[in-house]
Amino acid sequence: MRLLVTGGSGFIGTNLVQSSLDRGVEVLNLDWNPPLKLAQRVCWREWDIMDQEATARHIAAFRPTHVVHLAARTDTDVQDDLAAYRQNHEGTAALLAAVKDAPGIERLIVTSTQFVCEAGYQPAHDQDFKPFTLYGESKRLCELATRQARLSCVWSIIRPTTIWGPWSLRYRDVMFKVMRKGLYFHPGKGRVIRSYGYVGNVVWQIERILQADAALVNGQVFYVGDPPVDLRIWVEAISKGLVGRPVRYIPTWMVKGLALAGDLLKLLHVPFPITSGRFRSMTSDYITPMDKTESVLGKAPFSMAAGVDATVKWYDLESSTAVKPEKIDTRPTGSGHRP
C-alpha cells in the first residue's frame, strides 16, 4: 500500500499518518500546514488543495494506491458566505478529478461530517441531508461531488462524530487546560447523549475500510467514532485522568450566563472557555447512527479508559510541541488569504 493522506497535519490526520508509519506503510501527507508531530515532517509536502496542477503533480510523483481525503476547513465561524468553505467542496471536486485521472488508485475515502444533519435529525438514507451550518452545507456538497465524480476506484465516505484524543488542540487549549487549573464546571447533572469517538478507533475504522471487501464498502457512507454515550461518563473519565477527581457541577442557568458572557468576549477577541455554541454542545443530545459501522467493520478495539490514558499521556509529554495550524481563507478577499 502507498497511502496518500490529504490534511495529514490535522488532528485525525496526524494519528492516521503515525499509525500508517508504525505499520510500515509508505505515506505522503499533503497539507498547507506542517505536521503537528515534528517527526512526521519526512512524509509531508506543502500543498494547497485549490492548486490543481500541484495536486496532479504530487499524485503522479507518489503513485498512491490508496487515498484518504481529510483536508478541509472545519470551523463554523462563518455563517453568511459559503465561499469561505470553498476548499471543502470545490477543492474536493478538483481532487476527485485528479484521482479519476490517476492510474493505480484502488481505494479512496472522502471525509464528510456528522454536521450534514443537525442534532436530533435521523436521516432516512445516506443522501438525506439537513445541515445547520455552512460548514455542514459545504460537506453536503462534498458528498454530492463524490457521488457525481464517476470514479472507477472503490470509494467510501466517512462522517466523523465528535472526535477526541491525542493531537486534538481544541481539547488541549480549552477543556484540558481549564480542568488542570481546577476551573472546569459541568452544566447540571441531566442526561445528555452524544456520539463521541476516540481517535484511535476512528483510525482503526479508516484502516478497516481501506482493507475491507470492496462489496461491503464501495459507495457506502460510514459514521466513524464510538457508540453514543452519556456525556457525563466521558467527562468524568477525562477529569479522573487529568486531575484525579470527579467533575464539579453547577446549575445549567449559571453556565448559560457564562456562555453569553463568552459570546461578548469572543466579539472582542478575548479568549474564554465557554460560549453559547459550546454550551449547546454540552447540553443537547446529538446521536448519530453507528450500527452500520460496527456491523460492517467490527467493534473498534480501544476502550474509553485506554483512550483517556493515551490522551493524558500525550497531553503531559508531547502536546506542548504542537503549534496551532494557521487558518487560511481561500476567498480572494478573505482575511488571512494566502496569495
Tens of pLDDT, residue by residue over 54-107, are 999 999 999 999 999 999 999 988 889 999 999 999 999 999 999 999 999 999
Rounded to an integer, what distance in angstroms lies between the CA atom of residue 316 and that of residue 320? Answer: 8
β-pair partners for 59: none
Residue type present at position 320:
S
Rounded to an integer, what distance in angstroms lies between the CA atom of residue 113 and that of residue 121? Answer: 14
How confident is the prediction for the chain on average, in pLDDT?
92
Residue type present at position 123:
P
Give the DSSP H or E segment for 224: strand 220-224
Question: Per the structure block, which three cell numbers stand in for 151?
Answer: 470514479
Q: Which CATH architecture has domain 2-161+196-226+289-302?
A: 3-Layer(aba) Sandwich (3.40)
Q: Is 243 left (phi over 0), alpha (psi -120 to 50) or beta?
A: alpha
pTM of the model: 0.91
Q: Is the distance from CB of 58 to CB of 80 less than 8 angstroms?
A: no
Q: CB pairs under 8 A, 24+ apart, for 129-133?
A: 133/76, 133/79
Tens of pLDDT, residue by residue over 24-57, are 999 999 999 999 999 999 999 999 999 999 999 9
Q: What is the 3-state secondary structure (H, E, C) of 3-37?
A: EEEECCCCHHHHHHHHHHHHCCCEEEEEECCCCCC
- 71-86 burial code (b ≥16 CB/10 A, e <16): bbbbeeebeeeeebbb
Q: Is the distance from CB of 156 to CB of 221 less than 8 angstroms?
A: yes
> Domain locations in the chain?
2-161+196-226+289-302
Rounded to an integer, what distance in angstroms lies between the CA atom of residue 143 and that of residue 258? Answer: 37
Tens of pLDDT, residue by residue over 237-252, are 999 999 999 999 988 8
Query: Which is higher by pLDDT, 142 or 280?
Result: 142
